[in-house]
Amino acid sequence: MSKRIVSLVIVLVLLLVMAAPTMAQDGPSGELEIFSWWAGDEGPALEALIAKYVELYPDVEVNNATVTGGSGVNARAVLKTRMLGGDPPDSFQVHAGQELIGTWVVADRMEDLTFLYEEEGWMDKFPQGLLDLLSYEGGIWSVPVNIHRSNVMWYVPAKLEEWGIEAPATWDDFLAVCPTIQDAGVTPLVVGENWTVNHLWESVALAELGVDGWNGLWAGEKAWTDEDVVAMWDKFGEILACTNIDVDAATLSWQQATDKVIAGEAAFNVMGDWAAGYMVTTLGLEPGVGFGWVPSPGTAGVFMMLSDSFGLPKDIKNYDAAVAWLKLLGSVEGQDIFNPLKGSIAARLDSDLSLYNAYLQSAAADWQSNEVVGSLAHGAVAPESFSSEFGTVMEIFLNSRSGIAAANAAQAIARQAGIAG
Amino acid sequence: MQVSANRAGNPGRKLLRFTRRINPDRVYAILMILPSVILLAIFVYGFIGQTLWWSLTDWAGLEKNAEKNYIKLDNYKTLFSDITGMRFRQELVNTFFFTLFFVGGCLILGFILAVVLDQNVKGEGLFRTVFLFPMALSFAVTGTIWRWLLNPGGGINALPKMLGADAWNYRWINNRSPYTFNWHEVPLTTTLLIIAVLLFFIFRQIWRRKYLATIYLGVPMALLFLWMWSDWVSWDDTQAMHGTFNWQDVPRYVVAVIVIGFVLYMVSLLWHGKRRAALILGIPTAVVLLWYAAGGTDNFPNVEFPEAYGFNIALVGVIIAAVWQMSGYTMAMYLAGIRGVPEELREAARVDGCSEWQVYMRIVLPMLRPITLSAAIVLGHISLKIFDLIFAMAGIDHWPVSVPGVQVYYTMFRSNKFAVGSAIAIVLLIMVASVVIPYLITSLRAEHEL
Amino acid sequence: MSVFTWIILGLLVGSLGTYLLFSDRGRNPDHGALIGGIAGAVGSLVLLIPLWIYVYVQGKQPVYELPKDRPPLSGKHLTRMALYAFLILMMLVYLLPVYTVVVTSLKTPKEAGKLAKVWDLPTEINWKSYETALDELGPQLKNSFILTISATIISAVMGSMNGYVLAKWKFPGANIIFPLMLFGMFIPYQSILIPLFQFVQDIDLGGTIYGLIIAHVVYGLPITTLIFRNYYAEVPTEMLEAGAIDGAGFFGIYRWIVFPLSLPGFVVVIIWQFTQIWNEFLFAVTLTDQSSQPITVALALLAGGEAVNWNLPMAGAVLAALPTLVVYIVLGRYFIRGLLAGSVKG
């Protein structure tokens, strides 16, 4: 168990320190609790980072606290009880953007990290668009570790050949091949539990509304009841008809949904590019051969991003150790240890691309050249008061399959959350 | 549930009395119970009060000293009429059906098992142990197990494969459709029949001067009737699926149920010759009726668009899991009850020429009525507030099987809306209390009358 | 009296043993969780053995007595056959989930992932699921033991005292206070969740096991009080009066007359509270954090998370269910009595 190795390392290091009391002690000491939802397949990346941290700061005992659950759904609830309970972890994972700002910064629970960015010279090392996402009222509130892309469509090239189809460039193309795939006894597009449906939706919405339309929804410049938004919902309904939504979606985790694509039970899967990490690391597939990818239909040239970041809560017990952790996270070294294993690209612009696999290199190239927008399902563009209620909109749609009903509901919720156009 | 003490061993509830009015022992007695009383006063009533107050405020967000402004009943209005309350309304309907089938299933299955086990069966102990063991499990464990068993790709669905048949393709908790049927067909007659049967019992209870029972029978009867009415007559065929009802009709239903309750009560008063009381009751009833006829309910806060609700088929999986866990409980209750029936009584019935079946129906079953009632109350309050089973089986996101107990958690720890969460919790409390309090009062009163 | 001493001793040794063996200082990073799990089992056995002995010392006291002269339903052979066929069928239905759980937990992750083959026996027995599950759930298992044992004992003792007062001492307002206390057993705990949460946080116990213990003690009081009150109501008041004439006061009567008589009551209450607290979920999921959460929560998160390998949650389910199952199987009679006497709180 890698957990054991880590604890063994800690014990050995502690022994070493105890055996050699004359060794210089200038780093922070004490404990460091890191709260995240990176367990299982995503665990090794974090553990490698922690190992590096322990190497740099041998006096700190690291407590890697993870709460499992796709996209952090369980972790966020646990984190809230801890913060409300006056027991904040020393540093916690949070999606960059509104999930950080709208929940924690406005509640005055976070420390401003501008000083760290200035000290470390990070201001020009991260893309400005990303820094904007992390900023609110003149402060910068977390350190981004990675960049993931939300709008990617996955498939197995060999299978597509077998069925005689190509990866669709638009959703209309997809709808055109949908019956062909269904005739082969295969699910054209696989979705999993609740949040993965929202995830699919944001790719569809981006394709149908375009970059301006998408951003307009969140800036309050576009109403949900606009004609094209309603039409987009109806298109989404047609796409859903090509999925397993009414069959077994609710019981599938995103990994199980990905498994179905690999096994040839489903043709496509729209999932964030952590799926690449899963397919490379856990399933042992080679990018481009074992699996293929395109930007999700209709979104070529657009990079819908989400970023995992770590913040510094107020009133923590181990301030120095936590700041040292954030320093490591923001450094080139830290990002290049973490990201190749996690299956994401570095948030910094100066990382060493040769360390990354074929998929990630292509993603990094897109990250530099594409237009960038934020994700809804992963906390970037809307506060939780909207995103948690978006499930209501989705349910209304799934039950009624009526674009108008969903659009009206979304508009009502946006109005309540104060982001309605 | 046996709230009252064993009657045989408690003749007149004799208490310790000492000659002196005030003596140290009585002070000790009060002192010893005081901590518990104070703790419960704070932890139960104090906390409920606090939740009630918060449910009337706009508390949202995770600030340390969050602002809480009094906003009257707005949160409740949101729940019952705003679009964001749709999930909650769905959950109320889910709870209703879940309670109905869960309690009914447990009672029927438990009774059958108990009767069969009562037949001098070899290895009774083993069977009993097996039927009862799920009771010892946590709902979290049950949920985890059944989540796995009800996976559409395997589990129960793969069972026929063992016998060489094709696997089933049932979707269990993934199913998103409500149960639909056409009222014009068979169920219409069935429902009418059930309504007639309920009416018969209502009048029997009136005859016996059991007014409370009248109300408790009258409410499901009225609901059933209105549900049928809404779907069959008043709601346009094109708008919704059969077997569901329109939430927009709910205010009308509520008033109608109240009126029906009043009318039933009046009938029972008249029946027993209390004309003046009937008149006093009749005036407000007539006013409400007139107001109702004038369309007074149209001014209630109501949902904007028609919303169709019915029995979600996805609940079947949850009901199976819950019945699997709790039917052993009713079996144990019934078995103890059946064994408590004196053998002489049964023997006497047999001598009178009753078949064994008749012995159960005529002698045993009537004596089990208090057990049925208390088992129904216990199971009913469990199902109204159920949380962990759903959490473990489907998570807190899966609407088709969600219930208010889950929604409280979601609203508070996902959406950060503590005031709305409090409002749901209070609704939950009212639902449970309306079942439990009359029961507590009647059973404790029965104890004092002894 | 000797049995009584046994029980107290067992409780003390059991809880102390569990605590000491579990406490972090005895843990070695490699085997800590495993030792924790085994120690928990031993600890609970030490707790259970005296109770178990007690059952035998007291002789058999069946809850259900089948009248000896009960004739079979019908002399007909066929009817009996059908009866047994029905019972055996039902038994299989009830045991089906157990079969899957055990079989799945013994499979390799790869085999467990094959949905269509859930009912097949494992091709090779893989004990590693249990090892991993113990590794991941060991600390939570320890939390569950600490929580359950301490909350059970405290609420049982307080409930016994309340029951004694309510059943045997006249004091003003008792008839109002008792139903009001009782109502606390039925309330949906969601309706006190946030105030409780805030209270626990205000007294600086947020995210610890102690906050959870307090909650379970308080909300366990109604049921323990009820069971003891009904139990003591059956004790003839004349016996107590005799004690009073001999000069015993409030505590004397309790110590020398009521308490010795109430051992079966204690067994029922302890078993009942043990199962209830062990199985509880809502308080556990809100009042604790990862380091102090009990096993039910850890299990739900394990299974609800990225559960690709179902052998693991199934092994976890076995671990979480085992203690209460052992209690149920060894002391089932008292468990049933608890069911019938005080019954369920959900």
* Structure-token match 């065929």, residue found: B237
Contact C316 B144 (CB under 8 A): yes
Domain at C256, CATH number: 1.10.3720.10
Q: Assign residue B180 a region (left: φ > 0; alpha: ψ between -120 and 50; beta: otherwise).
A: beta
- Band of residue B1 on the pLDDT scale cut at 50, 70, 90: very low
Which has the higher per-residue pLDDT, A144 or B353? A144
Mean pLDDT of C64-82: 65
- Report all structural domains of chain A as residue ranges with CATH numbers, in order of start: 2-149+306-369 (3.40.190.10), 152-298+389-417 (3.40.190.10)
DSSP 8-state symbol, B401: G
Alpha helices per DSSP H over A186-283: 194-219, 227-240, 254-262, 274-277
pLDDT of A27 strictly over 80: no
pLDDT of B244 strictly over 90: no
* Pairing, β A308-311 against β A91-95: antiparallel
CB nearest A248 (choices: B87, B171, B397): B171
Contact C162 B148 (CB under 8 A): no
Chain B residues with beta carbon closer than 8 angstroms to that of A195:
397
Task: Kindly state whether B320 is in contact with chain C, defined as any CB-CB distance less than 8 angstroms.
Answer: no
Which has the higher per-residue pLDDT, C158 or A83? C158
Mean pLDDT of A224-251: 91
Q: Which residues pair with A266 in a beta bridge?
A: A187
Contact C30 A67 (CB under 8 A): no
Chain C residues with beta carbon closer than 8 angstroms to that of A82:
206-207, 289
Q: C81 lies in a domain?
A: yes
pLDDT of A182 strictly over 90: yes
CB nearest B174 (choices: A247, A388, A416): A247
CB nearest C177 (choices: B37, B381, B388): B37
Return d(Cα B223, Cα C221) in angstroms, integer: 37
- Band of residue B246 on the pLDDT scale cut at 50, 70, 90: confident
- Band of residue C11 on the pLDDT scale cut at 50, 70, 90: low
CB B403 within 8 A of CB B97: no
Q: Which of A228-242, B358-372, C138-152 has the highest mean pLDDT?
A: A228-242
How high is the pLDDT of residue C12? 53
Lowest mean per-residue pLDDT among A196-200, B239-243, B349-353, C333-337: B239-243
| Chains A & B: contacts with CB separation below 8 Å | 99
Mean pLDDT of B4-25: 53
Q: C285-297, pLDDT tens digit by residue?
A: 888 877 888 998 8
Return d(Cα B151, Cα C117) in angstroms, integer: 12
Return d(Cα C177, Cα B111) in angstroms, integer: 35
* Structure-token match 């009866």, residue found: C83
Lowest mean per-residue pLDDT among A38-52, B136-150, C49-63: C49-63
pLDDT of B3 strictly over 60: no
Return d(Cα B334, Cα B373) in angstroms, integer: 11
B427: nearest CA partner in chain C:
C191
Q: Assign residue B137 a region (left: φ > 0; alpha: ψ between -120 and 50; beta: otherwise).
A: beta
CB B256 within 8 A of CB B292: yes
Mean pLDDT of A91-99: 92
B52: nearest CA partner in chain C:
C191
| Mean pLDDT over the full length of chain B | 82
Closest CA to A191 of A134, A131, A243, A139: A243
| Mean pLDDT over the full length of chain A | 87
Chain C residues with beta carbon closer than 8 angstroms to that of A78:
289-290
High-pLDDT (> 90) share of chain A, %: 57
How high is the pLDDT of residue A2? 53
CB atoms within 10 A of CB B93: 19
How high is the pLDDT of residue B450? 54
Task: Kindly state whether B11 is in contact with chain C, defined as any CB-CB distance less than 8 angstroms.
Answer: no
**Interaxial angle between packed helices C128-168 and C77-105, expressed in degrees from 0 to 180 and rounded to the nearest 10:** 120
Chains contacting A (3 or more CB pairs within 8 Å) = B, C
B86: nearest CA partner in chain A:
A392
Lowest mean per-residue pLDDT among A133-142, A211-220, C111-120: C111-120
Backbone angles phi, psi at A97, to 5 degrees: 110, -145
Mean pLDDT of B354-378: 84
Q: Which of B427-436, C61-70, C116-125 has the highest mean pLDDT?
A: B427-436
How high is the pLDDT of residue B65? 80
Contact A41 C306 (CB under 8 A): yes
How high is the pLDDT of residue B193? 82
How high is the pLDDT of residue A148? 94
The boundaries of the domain holding residue C96 are 2-341
How high is the pLDDT of residue A213? 95
Contact C29 A11 (CB under 8 A): yes
Q: C68 lies in a domain?
A: yes
Q: A62-87, pLDDT tens digit by residue?
A: 988 887 765 577 788 888 878 887 77
Q: A307-350, pLDDT tens digit by residue?
A: 999 999 998 989 999 999 999 999 999 999 999 888 899 999 88
Contact C117 B409 (CB under 8 A): no
CB nearest A247 (choices: B63, B171, B397): B171
Mean pLDDT of A41-54: 88
Closest CA to B391 of B143, B94, B171, B152: B143
Lowest mean per-residue pLDDT among B403-412, C147-156, C300-309: C300-309
Q: CB neighbours of C164 closer than 8 A, spacing ≥ 6? A: B32, C228, C232, C254, C258
- Band of residue A24 on the pLDDT scale cut at 50, 70, 90: very low
Mean pLDDT of C302-321: 76
Tokens of C119: 């009912």
Q: Which of A287-301, C2-16, C102-116, C161-175 has the highest mean pLDDT?
A: A287-301
Which has the higher per-residue pLDDT, C304 or C157? C157
Lowest mean per-residue pLDDT among A98-102, B58-62, B137-141, C19-23: C19-23
Q: CB neighbours of B447 closer than 8 A, spacing ≥ 6? A: B3, B4, B5, B7, B13
Lowest mean per-residue pLDDT among A190-204, B354-368, C49-63, C326-340: C49-63
State the ipTM, two decimals: 0.79
Return d(Cα C196, Cα B54) in angstroms, integer: 13
pLDDT of B322 strictly over 90: yes
- Band of residue C1 on the pLDDT scale cut at 50, 70, 90: very low
Return d(Cα B430, Cα B294) in angstroms, integer: 30
Q: C12 lies in a domain?
A: yes
Residue window 37-96, chain A: list those with CB within 8 Å of chain B: 73, 76-77, 80-81, 83-84
How high is the pLDDT of residue B389? 93
Mean pLDDT of C324-344: 70
The torsion angle over the Cα atoms of residues B350, B351, B352 and B355, rounded to 10 degrees, is 30
| Mean pLDDT over the full length of chain C | 77
Chain C residues with beta carbon closer than 8 angstroms to that of A69:
301, 304-306
Task: Kindly state whether C184 is in contact with chain B, defined as any CB-CB distance less than 8 angstroms.
Answer: yes
CB atoms within 10 A of CB A110: 23
Task: Kindly state whether B119 is in contact with chain C, defined as any CB-CB distance less than 8 angstroms.
Answer: yes
- Band of residue C344 on the pLDDT scale cut at 50, 70, 90: very low
Q: C346 lies in a domain?
A: no
- Band of residue C10 on the pLDDT scale cut at 50, 70, 90: low
Number of domains in chain C: 1
Chain A residues with beta carbon closer than 8 angstroms to that of B410:
388
- Provide the CATH topology of domain B90-176+312-449: MetI-like fold (1.10.3720)
Q: B186-197, pLDDT tens digit by residue?
A: 667 777 888 888
- Band of residue C33 on the pLDDT scale cut at 50, 70, 90: very low
Task: Kindly state whether A418 is in contact with chain C, defined as any CB-CB distance less than 8 angstroms.
Answer: no
CB nearest C30 (choices: A4, A39, A81): A4
Task: Name the strand (E) or helix (H) holding A163.
Answer: helix A157-163
- Band of residue C159 on the pLDDT scale cut at 50, 70, 90: very high
* Pairing, β A371-374 against β A302-306: parallel
Q: Which of B33-47, B386-400, C4-18 has the highest mean pLDDT?
A: B33-47
Contact A250 B61 (CB under 8 A): no
Chains contacting C (3 or more CB pairs within 8 Å) = A, B
Contact A103 B397 (CB under 8 A): no
Return d(Cα B269, Cα B286) in angstroms, integer: 16
Residue C171: strand, helix, or coil? coil
Return d(Cα C225, Cα B442) in angstroms, integer: 19
Q: B133-172, pLDDT tens digit by residue?
A: 898 888 888 988 898 888 877 778 887 777 777 777 777 7
Contact A85 C302 (CB under 8 A): no
Specify the pTM: 0.84
Taking the domains of chain B in order of start, what are their residue ranges?
A: 24-54, 90-176+312-449, 186-309
How high is the pLDDT of residue A51? 94
Mean pLDDT of C72-98: 82
Closest CA–CA distance from residue A122 to any residue of chain B (Å): 30
